Amino acid sequence: MDNYFENIESKIPRGGFRTRFAPSPTGFLHLGGLRTALYAYLLAKKADGVLILRIEDTDRERRVEGAAELIFETLDAVGIAYDEGPNVGGPVGPYVQSERREIYGAYARRLIENGHAYRCFCDKESLDEQRLIHEASRVAHKYDRRCAALSAEEIEAKLAAGTSHVIRQKVAEGKTVFNDAVYGRIEVENSTLEDQVILKSDGMPTYNFANVVDDRLMGVTHVIRGNEFLSSTPKHVLLYEGFGWETPEYIHVPQIMRNATKKLSKRDGDAYFGDFIERGYLKEAILNYIALLGWSPGGEEEKFTLDELAQIFSIDGISKSPAIFDYQKLNWLNGAYLRAMSDDEYHTAALPYIKKVVTRDIDTRYVASILQGRCELLSEIPEQVDFIDAVLPHEPDLYENKKMKTDAAGALKVLPEVCAALSGLSAWDKDAIHAEITALVAKLEMKNGQVLWPMRVALSGKTFTPGGSIEICVILGKDETLSRLKAAIERLEKI
Ligand code: GLU
């Protein structure tokens, strides 16, 4: 081994537990990608190891401007802290693959010397022709290896003439066997594998090659990723063998599905982390929920902080079967996180949603205190508080309630009494209003509902509101309450 490789390989960290999250910056962060990042983080944390973030951007055509930044921001927002990566550095960086071109070129040539790769000078026409022949004869297409047979002189001549070429992996004969912690022993006939391109004609590595070289040079001990990469793993294993390197532990996790047949999708708005934030989910709830997608903690408890997850996470709990996304559970968890917030936290979180529909000057803290515990999602708030600015348009039959034995006529009898009773109140708080209304109910010899139901309809134009009629009075304030009651009476008088 010459100095170049010795120098690089002497830096490989050894002896520790090292995982990595290796996203390609091709767009928004998919929920499945975030789950991979989370699992890699949890595995590293639990073992007191290191999490690496590596940006796999060698596919220039699929690269999306700003996607890497979005990954950094999202990981930061949810608290997945990596120990080595583009923004924090580390001993075996750079951690952006496009900045490591030279290394992949050197390793690809080393593989040629080892007899596990070769230069391929086939041009597009020649490759297309091979494909057509295979298609016509219904043979599964793969490169026919014609360049593997070139003599040293032929190669020299083509190189001297400056013929464009790629480097291909030379798949050995036999079988490739590896173990996956989730899927068990996997055995593949090498004859089914193609001599894939590892280095493109512009010197850029392909995903499979850069991924393997980096996992090795970065000392990665555990490769955790989605099971869509399971079928590429035999090629990776062959590359490790070609270099004479030991393979890492493989842990492939099942896909996240929307239901038994459909994956999460962009179109359904449930593929990306950002989609859920936009819909009013809390990042803690999303993170907690995706931890449970494909992994089970084994007990009844399902609400865990990131630190708690890091203590209990284990590879044994990962299941092979596809993880079906369950909105009910996510909503329940989200509600649980909302309920667990302090008054201040909840008020801060709810305020933008209250402000979406409320412009009146109200005690938002009081409103927030009523909402907390009633909404599973912050995005449900606007429809709960939409009556605060103005009574919702409604028909008189909204006053009708068979159970409470009341209707518009009943309301017309009761509301003036309510108005009179409340106008005399000097203190405007829940207890005072409650005492006044209770006294009125007793005086009128009615049931609570016969007074409270018409009040709610008159004050909100709705039959369901967060909090009862008395809370609505508190939210609206005395003047607004009385003016709404009077307006309701006037409307009822006209029918
Ligand atoms: N760059 C691959 C991706 O975007 C990484 C696969 C792996 O983790 O090995 O998902």
Q: What confidence tier does 260 reach under pLDDT thresholds 50, 70, 90? A: confident
Give the single-character DSSP code of 119: E
* Nearest to 57, CA basis, from 37, 27, 20: 27
Ligand 1 mutation target, pool 31, 225, 237, 253, most atoms within 8 A of CB: 225
Cβ–ligand 1 contact at 97 (below 6 Å): no
pLDDT of residue 265: 80
Residue 185 CA to ligand 1 center (angstroms) comes to 21
Q: Label residue 314 by pLDDT band (50, 70, 90).
A: very high
Instruction: Report the phi/psi class of residue 66: left, alpha or beta, with left for phi > 0 and alpha for psi in -120 to 50.
Output: left
Is the pLDDT assigned to residue 272 strictly greater than 80? yes
**Confidence check: pLDDT of 2 > 80:** no
pLDDT bucket at 287, cuts 50 / 70 / 90: very high
Comparing 264-268, 321-325, 379-383, the range with the smallest average pLDDT is: 264-268
212 C-alpha to ligand 1 centroid (Å) = 11
For the CA of 224, the nearest atom of ligand 1:
8
Average pLDDT of the chain to the nearest whole number? 96
Mean pLDDT of the 29-40 span: 96
Q: What's the pLDDT score for residue 266?
A: 79
Confidence of residue 1 (pLDDT cuts 50, 70, 90): low
Q: What pTM was computed for the model?
A: 0.91
Angle between helices 448-460 and 408-423 (to 10 degrees): 90
The answer to whether 280 and 353 have CB atoms below 8 angstroms apart is yes
pLDDT at 232: 97
Which pLDDT band, with edges at 50, 70 and 90, does 141 fall under?
Answer: confident
Ligand 1: atom nearest CA of 23 is 4
pLDDT digits (tens, 9 = 90+) for 210-239: 999 999 999 999 999 999 999 999 999 999
Mean pLDDT (whole number) for 35-60: 97
Tens of pLDDT, residue by residue over 402-444, are 999 999 999 999 999 999 999 999 999 999 999 999 999 999 9
Separation in Å, CA 186 to CA 180, 189, 250? 7, 10, 11
Encode pLDDT of 458-480 as tens digits.
999 999 999 999 999 999 999 99
Residue 478 appears among annotated catalytic residues: no
Whether residue 56 has its Cβ less than 6 Å from ligand 1 = yes
Q: Is the CB of 229 under 6 A from ligand 1?
A: yes
Position 417 scores a pLDDT of 98
Mutate to test the pocket of ligand 1, among 29, 56, 253 (most ligand atoms within 8 A of CB): 56
Q: Which residues pair with 19 in a beta bridge?
A: 51, 222
Estimate the crossing angle of helix 31-46 against helix 283-291, to 10 degrees. Answer: 80
Residues 114-133: pLDDT tens digits?
Answer: 999 999 999 999 999 989 99
Provide the pLDDT confidence category of residue 105 given band limits of 50, 70 and 90.
Answer: very high
Per-residue confidence (pLDDT) for residue 140, from 0 to 100: 86
Query: What does the block give as tokens for 323?
Result: 């993880």
Residue nearest to atom 10 of ligand 1 (CA): 23
pLDDT tops 60 at residue 334:
yes
Q: In Å, how far are 273, 287, 293, 311 from 259, measured between CA atoms? A: 18, 20, 13, 30
Ligand 1 proximity of 225 Cβ (cutoff 6 Å): yes
Residue nearest to ligand 1 atom 6, measured at CA: 22
Tokens 């934030």 label which residue? Answer: 277
Beta strand ranges found along 54-96 (DSSP E): none
From the CA of 21, give the closest atom in ligand 1: 8
Shortest-distance atom of ligand 1 to CA 207: 1
Q: Which pair of structure tokens corresponds to residue 146?
A: 């014609």
Mean pLDDT to the nearest integer, 333-337: 97
395-425 exposure pattern, b = at least 16 Cβ within 10 A, e = fewer = ebebbbbeebebbbebbbebbeebbebbeeb
What residues does 252 pair with on adjacent strands? Answer: 225
Residues 6+ apart with CB under 8 A from 199: 104, 105, 108, 166, 167, 205, 206, 209
